Structure formats: structure tokens, C-alpha cells
Amino acid sequence: MSHIETLLTVETLQAIFRDTFFDSYNTELIGGADEPLYQPATEQYPHHRLYFREDYISSAFHEIAHWCIAGEARRQLLDFGYWYQPDGRSAEQQRTFESVEVKPQAVEWHLSEAAGHRFHLSADNLSGESIDEEAGSSERFAEAVIKQAQDYCQQGLPPRAKMLADALRNFFGSGETSLPDRYIGERL
């Protein structure tokens, strides 16, 4: 039975994530945070915790994408040891930010497609300097995310991303999501 007509909820996404990864990766997905954050397990809290902002499904997918890409060593570090400069970045800081966001956003797009959820490219710098004539995402960034999403269709997703995409497709009945023509600029 297809669930694609079923509206994706945060609770459904959390349940699918838990069913897919809790036993094998000791990781839980938790909503309601003021800011997204990954916390590795500690003596006081024996599970890795992946927090996403408020109850935003897109935030959950984005944090999951970072988790899917992070290797074993990074998953032992607070927030995977990533650099993060908040909104208001300079043009140079924005270029650096965009260079490390290509793969996570391409994975996020694949996961969103598998759940029947619309993906929105995010430059995450609404009040900062523009690196193009228009505010927001640079054209080069959008093109790089499109190319990476299409490359994942040919080369395959990172293993954890594939596991979750398969689980989402199975639950929602969303069909084949690894066709490159699904990942084009008009769908951003």
C-alpha cells in the first residue's frame, strides 16, 4: 500500500529514522531544538542525538544528510566538528559555506524525494553579503548541488543515506528516486 498521499510528519520521519538506525548506529533524531546540533553519546546519555530545529521537516532532513555523510571519527565530535558561521556571512565566508554544503544538500534532496517532500536549496545567509547579483543562493551553488544530486544517481548515495532513502521509499511508496531527471533546476 502506498502512503505517498499521507502527509509526512515529524513523528513519522523520527520513527522511520529510529527503526532504520537506532539499533545499528545508536542514534536518535530529536525535534524541538532552538538550533540544530549533533551530540555524540556520553556517559550520562548513552545514545548519539541528532537535534533538528523546532518541528521543521526540512531541518530534520538537512541534519540527517550531514549525519549520513559524516564518517565514524566525525560522529564522535560535537556537531561533527564542523565549522559554522551563522547568518550574516561575508561573501568569502559564504563561498566557503557553500563549498561544504553541496554534498549534504544533494543528499537532503534525495531523502526529500524519497519521502515525497519538496526540497528547497538553502544558502542560509539571508542577511549576509550576496556573492551574486541577487540575494540568497549563488547560481554556482545551485548548479553544484544539482550536479552532485545527479552524480548520486549514477554512483549511489552514501550507505546510510541509501538505507534511509530505501526505508522512506518503502514507507511512502514514492517509486524510483535515483533518476537524474528528477534533480534539475526547475525542481529547486
In contact, 65 and 121? CB cutoff 8 Å = no
pLDDT in tens, 112-122: 999 999 999 98
The mean pLDDT value for 88-114 works out to 89
Read off the DSSP letter of residue 168.
H
User: What is the model's pTM?
Assistant: 0.90
Q: Where are the alpha helices (DSSP H) in 72-138?
A: 91-114
pLDDT higher than threshold 70 for residue 95: yes
pLDDT in tens, 151-163: 999 999 999 999 9
Q: What is the mean pLDDT of the chain?
A: 89
With a pLDDT cut of 90, the percent of the chain lying above it is 73
What's the chain's Rg over C-alpha atoms? 16
Q: Look at the block and give the residue holding cell 544530486.
A: 149
Rounded Cα distance, 159 and 173, in Å: 20
| Angstrom distances, CA of residue 124 to CA of 28, 85, 98, 102, 121 | 25, 10, 9, 13, 9
Q: Please report which confidence band the pLDDT of residue 85 belongs to, taking 50, 70 and 90 as the band edges.
A: low
The mean pLDDT value for 12-34 works out to 98
- Domain assignments of the chain as residue spans, ordered by start: 10-187
Residue 26: name the closest of 72, 66, 59 by CA. 72
User: Who has greater pLDDT, 70 or 99?
Assistant: 70
Rounded Cα distance, 125 and 94, in Å: 7
The mean pLDDT value for 167-184 works out to 95
